[in-house]
Structure 1
Amino acid sequence: MQRVFSAAAERKEKWVSGNRDGVFRGREGERELLSGVLNAGTGVVLIEGAAGTGKTRLLDEIAAVAAGRGFEVATARDELDQPFLLARLADRRPDGPALVVLDDLHLAEPGTLAALRALLPASIHEKVVWLLARRRGEGADRLFAAAAQRGATRIELRPLADNVVEDLVTDLTGGIPDHDLKALASLAQGNPAALIGLFAALRQDDQVAVTAEHASIRTDRSPRATEALLRDRVSALSGKARHLLQVASVLGPRFEPGDVAEMLASSTAILLPALDEVIGAGVVTSLDDRLAFRHELLWRLVADSVPLPVRRALHREAGEMLLARGDSAVLAARHLLHGAQRGDARSIGGLVAAAKAVLWNAPEAAAELAVRALELTDQASASLVHRTVMAVRALTAAGKLTAAQALAREALSRHVSPEPAAKLRHCVATTTLLGARHAESLEISEALLREPGLAPELVPWVEITRLMALLGHDRRRAEELAEEVVRTHQGSPDDVLATALAVLAAIARDTGRPGAALELAREAARSGTSHDLSAYPQLLFATLLAGLREFAEADDVVRRVRGGPSAVVTREVMTAVVQARILLQAGRIEEASVEARAALTVAEETGHESVVAPALAVLAMVAIHTGDLPAAIEHVERYREQVPADGILFSRAYYQWADVLVTHVGSGLEKALALLTDEYPCLVSSGLFAEEPRAAGWFVRRALEAGDERLAKAVVDRAERLAEEHPGFSAVTAAAVHARGLFDADAKLLELAAQQHRDLWARANAAEDLGVLLTGSPDRAGSVKALESALGLYREIGASRDSARVLGRLRKLGRRRRAAPARPASGWSSLDDTERAIANLVAKGQTNRQISTQLFMSPHTVNFHLRKIFRKLEISSRVELVMRSRDDQ
């Protein structure tokens, strides 16, 4: 539960004093030294420090200690009291031990200082302790120098150490400060008064929240009092220092002193006094090889003080400065985005160069840069069309397919020279391909390839687009073209060859040749060289491996794709949907659902219609096994409308198999099997049993249930033929054993299948089939054992509908199966292995993206598990997770 610390009335005293339980933090050494002087009963102590370092507080504390020990205490609070106190001391010496306290001697009159210089030597043999305090460097120099020569003890109150500041902030807020709050506290530079004043302003603004003993800055409040305090600090600087800060703020929260000097047409040496001033004031600090504003709030305050037109002009000058000296266009682009003006050729060129530099690893940024450059380009400029091409390419990479296509078509409606026109037309072909409009994409691609003057660097990309469009539109022609490419592309690997091999692999998969498909896909994955628009050959290879239940190798392939340099949206959304199905096949239903929903959301938002159907097919399978029939029916109906007959990412058979499953659950066995005759006559003879080995057992089971022995035998024959032709594919062999065991009612074969299957789904299916078979035999104990094994596997997967079915079978056998000992609902022991692994990596400071790379899952899935971890541990933040982890260890 969150509380705002300003509401805690009991903390009022801590706001005033900045201490806990009466302890004045950070002055333990000084306190010990003063106690030693009191023990001696005589001596002079010189206390110096900047304003707000706690001189007066320390004097008061020692005066109270001395009074408790029987000292006569005489105190002068200001320059008006000092002469009277000294006069009394000159007239009457103390009878017993005495403590004389004179504060703010830097304000004392010359006569007072002269009288004090006379008194100090005269009292050297008396039981008198003198505490003399001043602000460092502001006066009383002769007095302090003379006293020091005579052996006085000197105490300099330095800024509080970082750990003391953290303790003090904890006192002030009631919670352990997070990184951002500590950064803000550093503005006080270890000065207790400044720190307390800063947090008083935060308290007034209601800016700090404490959650589970941790304090952080709230972002839902306007920090008016805090900003006023910081504004006063900046206003107290000299004009030169303020101007330096304003220019520096345009460069960013971190900046190079030399860049500021160049912007001010000066030199770092000349700016040194102003730099010293802003550092001394605590506004700027040294950070590695650069300077930095001490906190983002302070940086934004200074930046906002620069009028918008002036800020734009400064950004433009900064961008041009970086370009002029040959720095990265990406660094310059951040400024040029804010400052470039229409017709400013140099600045616009910088934006375009930056867009090209980040096109593949930061396509969103590239799109923003390229579109802005296009907006600033004059319509009559010769560069307009080339910048349009760049903008269209960047929008496509960023997944903004509709905008990319509209921009390209609008440009093509005008007179455009052949070379850029070809690039724009290819962009249209690409976006229509990703939008699952294969015929349109094919028509554009073939028209481009017929043109004699097509730029050589564009030819490979057009050929790839044509191959992929043909795969979705005309399988016969796709196969002929792919075979021709393989014959003619000899020598080193290239992306056209990789795509052709992948096309042949997809066709082999769909025509029931899994061995050929796997080898072709493996070669395709090795032949690819580009990280541009997609990773289709690699992802197809991963789907084939996962279909054969080679999960470890499939995981490695997907990990390599995800770990590549490209962040193009097409690549990411295709990878997500492939990983979703792999997770589903491996029995990780929840994670599969998260990945598939993430892929579907992005696909729908960006117009990647080619990925919508695969995501829906995975979600339909998830819904079937979790008992959500309405959702399963909705998903299948939607992808039927999408006409997922392209078989590009998943096979056509996979969509048909999902349709048959959902129809069986929703409309009954008769309608499900009718689909095999009416709509999917080639499903059994396809390569389905190599892509989904457990489907063989399902079809035999359903055929026998319907009394259709012919269908059952056809399934067994097909599965056994695949196993015979591919003896190295253990998943296919297990599918054949399972199908034959069902057909022959052979318990030993079903038991063998339950052992040989390589995924939990199929193993559970085989165990259930064995249990059902043994139900009618004398071996009821064997039936119960097999059904309980199936139930355990279904529960492990999270297949609630299948679990319910098996529980019903067990009840008919008279077994009221007790629930297996469940994990606790909360606490560390409630975490499963994946959750514990993620928690440990978070405790080591890793980000979601770093964790996703290590554990082979997307950042979406990591976030999904983190929410479960937070719920089980009853926490709400990564900071709390780190602390809980440390406590547990």
Structure 2
Amino acid sequence: MFRGREGERELLNGVLDAGTGVVLVDGAAGTGKTRLLAEVAALAAHRGFEVATAQDELDQPFLLARLAERRPQSPTLVVLDDLHLAEPGTLAALRALLPASTHEKVVWLLARRCGEGADRLFAAAAVRGAVRVELRPLADNAITELVADLAGGIPDQDLRALASTAQGNPAALNSLFKALSEDGQVEIRGEHASLRGDRSPRQTESLLRERVSSLSGKARHLLQVASVLGPRFEPGDVAEMLASSTAILLPALDEVISAGVVTSLEDRLAFRHELLWRLVADSVPPPVRRALHREAGEMLLGRGDSAVTAAQHLLHGAQRGDVRSIDGLVAAAIAVLWNAPDAAAELAVRALELTDQASASLVHRTVIAVRALIAAGKLTAAQALAQDALSRQVSPEPAAKLRHCVATTTLLGAQHAESVEITEVLLEEPDLLPELVPWVEITRMMALLGHDRRRAEELAEAVVRTHTGSPDDVLATALAVLAAIARDTGQPGAALELAREAAQSVTSHDLCAYPQLLLATILSGLREFSDADSVVRRARSGPSAVVTKELMVAVVQARILLQAGRIEEAAVEARSALSVAEETGHSALVAPALAVLAMVAIHTGDLPAAIEHVERYRGRVPVDGIIFSRAYYQWADVLVAYVGHGLDKALGLLTDEYPGLVTSGLFAEEPRAAGWFVRRALEAKDERLAKAVVDRVERLSEENPGFRGVAAAALHARGLLDSDASLLELASQQHRDLWARANAAEDLGVLLTASTDRSASVKALENALGLYREIGASRDSARVLGRLRKLGRRRRAAPVRPASGWSSLDDTERAIANLVAKGQTNRQISTQLFMSPHTVNFHLRKIFRKLGISSRVELVMRSRDDQ
């Protein structure tokens, strides 16, 4: 296809219609002059014209001689290309021939490379009315069409950006795509073309390198300095680094823009493609590049620009003992400590590596590096660095900061006793920095919560009594500690009130959102899922991105998803949290993730996994008690023991190891546990245990009348104990989570099997089966199917969705697909659907597999087709 010259061809067609005239074609090299002349010659021949053309510039004089000797007998098209190469005599003869032929049926089609010769001929012809055709760079739409022709598919944005380096020149585009083809760089998926990133583009790089090499020396030097500043750069920054001015650099800037190497954006200039930027950057020798980075960083620091931007250069260019550059790295690390902890850790550690061991700033920079490593979740490295520094002579103030850092890492590593010991010794020091005191107190309270509940409660109550006035973080922590203790001792009303107050008292993001996340766990336990999701969403979107907070959010979100019946998503969140917690040394967050996975495994019938998860967290003494209550872990242990080893083993645990479980706060944190315990007690004919459970959950319901989840649990437990079908039916309607509702429906169905009319029993069991299937509780579904078979009702296995296509997507997958089709990112989707970005990514992978696609672009196209 001959793309983008429709206007020129229409004009030339008009000249052929007239049968006489002179057309002057101007164009830069590669703009398609020869192709246009060939197209017009073919068209003229088809229309009956005699076409006379010279083979090259040497043949031009002979052609003119032949034309001068004879009078054309039919309409004739004379085509002369590359007249910028013609000899002066040829041009003179042509100037003489043109006026003499105006009365004949002759169309002259004359072409040259613009600005390179034949100026007098073209000027004279223009004066006599010749038609001018200037071949400009192809328009954007024509470029897209031509790129699609060359690539074999609709180009994506990255491929179009690379094509833009050709500046709309068809020949340059052809050369580029020939090189890409030789490199095997173009990948076709369906109707779409994109660049591959897994192969070395040697031919393409060679072509682009030639383009850069053809520039003047000043232009190349400008590009090399600009490449150090990044893919996008301010021309003023380049001028400053070259000790020049933008005005002086203007010719070189024009040259690199005209060559298609650089383009102009609204606020700055940019390399047209990353390949070009990388090629230019790689052309700068490493020692020179480091020096340029250092100069760029110091330039930015010197005029007060962002320390973070400056640090990006100093990270590459700073040298040992370079105080100004190292201070820039430290300033940048502090600036991004909370919202980009990984970057902060890299900057701070690099600054420390460049610091002389004799420097007075060594200890201060060590403190910053340790704090940044903790924020980035690199607890082992942080602790080792702090203890190494403390093994040397360190003044009291930085020593206290480093010891507090060690207390923090031991707390997060579930070494609660060690953390308590370090913080209490620190608080006894008379000269402890005033700004450090609150954080040491906070760490001590949190460590005591995992180590000594009585002392934690006493200390928290003392803080609440003495901290009056405006909210502060010590008060928020104390309130959260009291809320956790109230939750665990069966005071859900007090726990919820304290947790709300704690969440409102937080003033700093340094607390890693613990008070907010504790509030979310209490709300979710009470089955107030909407409120819990809102709290988690606020915590997730807060200003802090430290790894500890991200892990805590993931763990809490996993249990909320599990309690809400979204088992598969809960497993994804919990596995992700467990992997990161183990990798980073966050031992305090391993047990919560394992507990969620144990519950998931029970629901899905994976008994070996459930047993493994429980055995792993049982070995962690004491088990959590900070994120989830210890009762939650104990119940999971009893539940797994029952499924794996039978009733005697489960009740033995209840008697020997967890005698206080029934009287704890479990039934407010997990209302569905009440029915489970009554069911097991009746199975064992242990009426005392059954009555104890019913008494406990009914008392919780009476003392907390506003909690509907606990009220439903009380109805469920009493209905089981009294064999009251009406109470069980009411519980199946009022339970706030699907699993508990299904349990109540199943219990109702089992109770009604003794009646003469078994249809009501079947109905209740089928209701339970539908609920179990909805949440993916395959083990429970299998049990109910067995009950239905005994009643003579054969139910097929769960309706199987198609393996592929849109109909194979479930509701969550369809919702995500629709939001992707609207252009939303994973993070935006996660906010709307109350799930983490990696949960969204998990669903996207399933969607891609079911639809047989591999990219978001294909999903958008398939979605539009479906609509």
TM-score by length of 1: 0.97
Q: Secondary structure at the match of 2:509?
A: coil
User: Which residue of structure 2 lines up, in the alignment, with residue 36 of structure 1?
Assistant: 14
Match of 1:280 among 258, 265, 286: 258
2:63 to 85, 91, 94: 85
Aligned to 1:19: none
| Contact kept? 1:616, 1:639, Cα under 8 Å | yes
Paired position in structure 2 for 1:209 = 187
Return the alpha-carbon distance in structure 2 between the equivalents of residues 292 and 820 of structure 1: 56
| Aligned residue in 2 for 1:701 | 679
User: Equivalent residue for 1:196?
Assistant: 174
Asked whether 1:767 is paired with 2:745, we answer yes
The answer for the alignment partner of 1:240 in structure 2 is: 218
1:66 aligns with 2:44: yes
From 568, 578, 592, give the equivalent of 2:556.
578
1:685 to 656, 663, 666: 663
After superposing the two structures, state which structure 1 stretch, 628-637 or 135-144, moved more.
135-144
Q: Which residue of 1 aligns with 2:758?
A: 780
Cα deviation for residue 137 of structure 1 reads: 1.3
CA distance in 2: counterparts of 1:308 and 1:105, whole angstroms: 47
Shift of 1:873: 1.2
3-state SS of paired residue (1:532):
helix
Other-structure match for 1:800: 778
> Does 2:171 correspond to 1:158?
no
Listed as ranges, the gaps of 5+ residues in structure 1 are 1-22
Equivalence map 1:398-477=2 (5 Å): 398-477=376-455
1:613·1:644 contact (CA, 8 Å) conserved in 2?
Answer: no
SS in 1 for 2:350: helix
* Cross-structure match for 1:52: 30
CA-to-aligned-CA distance 1:576-623 (integer Å, 9 cap, x gap): 000000000000000000000000011001000000000000000000
CA contact (8 A) 1:486 1:500 kept: yes
Aligned to 1:17: none
Q: In structure 2, do the counterparts of structure 1 residues 218 and 183 end up closer, same or farther at CA, with 3 Å as the change threshold? A: same
Q: Are the equivalent residues in 2 in contact too, given 1:336–1:347 (CA < 8 A)?
A: yes
TM-fit CA distance, 1:76: 1.7
How far apart are the structure 1 equivalents of 2:27 and 2:511? Answer: 63
The corresponding residue for 2:724 is: 746
Give the secondary structure class of the aligned counterpart of 1:682. coil
Measured after TM superposition, the shift of residue 438 of structure 1 is: 0.5
Contact 2:377 2:584 in 1 (8 A): yes
Q: Tell me the CA shift for residue 329 of structure 1.
A: 0.7
Tell me which amino acid in the other structure corresponds to 2:112: R
**How far apart in 2 are the matches of 1:808 and 1:254?**
66
Other-structure match for 2:571: 593
Q: Distance in 1 between matches of 2:734 and 2:826?
A: 36
- Give the stretch that moved more between structures: 33-42 or 646-655: 33-42
Q: Is the 8 A contact 1:397 1:533 kept in 2?
A: no
Deviates more, 1:145-154 or 1:409-418: 145-154
Whether 1:555 and 2:523 are equivalent positions in the alignment is: no
CA distance in 2, matches of 1:173, 1:283: 21
Mapped contact 2:451–2:622 kept (Cα < 8 A): no
Structure 1 counterpart SS, 2:316: helix
Deviation at 1:534, TM superposition (A): 1.0
Which residue in 1 is equivalent to 2:580? 602
Instruction: Point out the more displaced range, 819-828 or 27-36.
Output: 819-828
Question: 1:822 offset after TM fit, Å?
Answer: 4.3
How far did residue 824 of structure 1 move? 3.1
Q: Is the 8 A contact 2:592 2:624 kept in 1?
A: no
Give 1:661's match in structure 2, choosing from 625, 630, 639.
639
Q: Distance in 1 between matches of 2:622 and 2:193?
A: 52
Task: Provide, for residues 464-513 of structure 1, a one-character-per-residue CA deviation record: whole Å limited to 9, x for no partner.
Answer: 00100110111111101000000100011111000000000000111111
The residue correspondences of 1:320-359 to structure 2 (distance < 5 A) are 320-359=298-337
Equivalent position amino acid for 2:476 in 1: A
Which of 499, 502, 505 is equivalent to 1:524? 502
1:297 is aligned to 2:275: yes
**1:644 shift after superposition:** 4.4
Counterpart in the other structure of 1:172: 150
Quote the residue 1:123 is aligned against: 101
Give the aligned partner of residue 818 of structure 1. 796
- Is contact 2:591–2:623 with CA below 8 Å preserved after alignment? no
Structure 2: distance between partners of 1:837 and 1:725:
41
Indicate conservation of the 8 Å contact 1:533/1:570, yes or no. no
Question: 1:840 Cα deviation (Å)?
Answer: 2.0
**Is 1:364 the counterpart of 2:351 in the alignment?**
no
C-alpha contact (below 8 Å) 2:23/2:132 kept by paired residues:
yes
Partner of 1:26: 4
Q: One-letter code of the match for 1:444?
A: I
Q: Specify the code of the residue in structure 1 equivalent to 2:658.
A: Y
Match of 1:15 in 2: none
**What does the per-residue CA deviation read over 1:19-50, in whole Å, with 9 as the maximum and x for residues that have no partner?**
xxxx2111111111111111111111111111
Q: Kindly report the root-mean-square deviation, in angstroms, between the aligned alpha carbons of the 2 structures.
A: 1.0
Judged with a 3 Å threshold, the aligned counterparts in structure 2 of structure 1 residues 156 and 173 are, in CA distance, closer, same or farther, namely same
Deviations 1:76-112 (A, max 9, x none): 2422111111111111121111101010111111221
On the 8 A contact 1:77/1:104 being kept in 2, the answer is: no
- Helix, strand or coil: the match of 1:51? coil
For the 8 Å contact 2:371–2:405, the answer to whether it is kept is yes
Instruction: Confirm or deny that 1:229 pairs with 2:207.
Output: yes
Partner amino acid for 1:419?
A: E
Deviation per CA, 1:126-166: give whole Å up to 9, x if none.
11111111111111122212222222211111111222212
Greater CA drift, 158-167 or 820-829: 820-829
Structure 1 residue matching 2:269: 3-state secondary structure: strand
Of 93-102 and 26-35, deviating more is: 26-35
What's the CA shift string for 1:866-887, capped at 9, x where partnerless? 0111112110111111111222
Counterpart check, 1:841 vs 2:841 = no
**Is the 1:72–1:98 contact (alpha carbons within 8 Å) kept by the matching residues of 2?**
yes
The answer as to whether partners of 1:493 and 1:527 remain within 8 angstroms in 2 is yes
Partner deviation per Cα, 1:708-747 (whole Å, 9 max, x = no partner)? 0110011111111111111110100000000000001111
- Quote how far apart the aligned CAs of 1:828 are: 2.1
How far apart, CA to CA, are the structure 1 residues paired with 2:365 and 2:757? 77
Query: What amino acid is the match of 2:359?
Result: S
Q: Aligned partner of 1:49: which letter?
A: G
- Contact preservation (8 Å) 2:642, 2:650: yes
Higher alpha-carbon deviation: 172-181 or 730-739: 172-181
Which residue identity does 1:592 align to in structure 2? A
CA contact (8 A) 2:450 2:622 kept: no
**What is the aligned partner in structure 2 of residue 5 from structure 1?**
none
Once the two structures are superposed, residues 50-94 of structure 1 have per-residue CA deviations (whole angstroms, 9 ceiling, x without a partner) of 110111011101101111111000012422111111111111121
Distance in 2 (alpha carbons) for counterparts of 1:857 and 1:604: 22
- Residue 880 of structure 1 pairs with residue 846 of structure 2: no
How many angstroms apart in 1 are the aligned matches of 2:133 and 2:818? 46
For the 8 Å contact 1:768–1:806, the answer to whether it is kept is yes
CA distance in 2, matches of 1:572, 1:854: 18
Separation in structure 2 between the aligned mates of residue 687 and residue 533 of structure 1, nearest angstrom: 26
Matched, 1:564 2:542: yes
- Once the two structures are TM-superposed, the CA of residue 529 in structure 1 deviates from its matched residue by 1.1
CA separation in 2, counterparts of 1:777 and 1:189?
Answer: 84
- Equivalences, count: 867
Is 500-509 or 286-295 further displaced after alignment? 286-295
Work out the CA distance in 2 between the residues paired with 1:811 and 1:170: 61
Q: Which moved more, 1:132-141 or 1:355-364?
A: 132-141
Q: Does 1:262 align with 2:240?
A: yes
Q: Counterpart amino acid of 1:110?
A: P
Give the partner amino acid of 2:597.
Answer: L
Partner of 2:480: 502
Tell me, in whole angstroms, the C-alpha distance in 1 between the residues paired with 2:7 and 2:674. 80
Aligned partner letter, 1:756? Q
- Greater Cα offset, 132-141 or 572-581: 132-141
Q: CA deviation at 1:176?
A: 1.4
**How far 1:177 sits from its partner (Å)?**
1.2
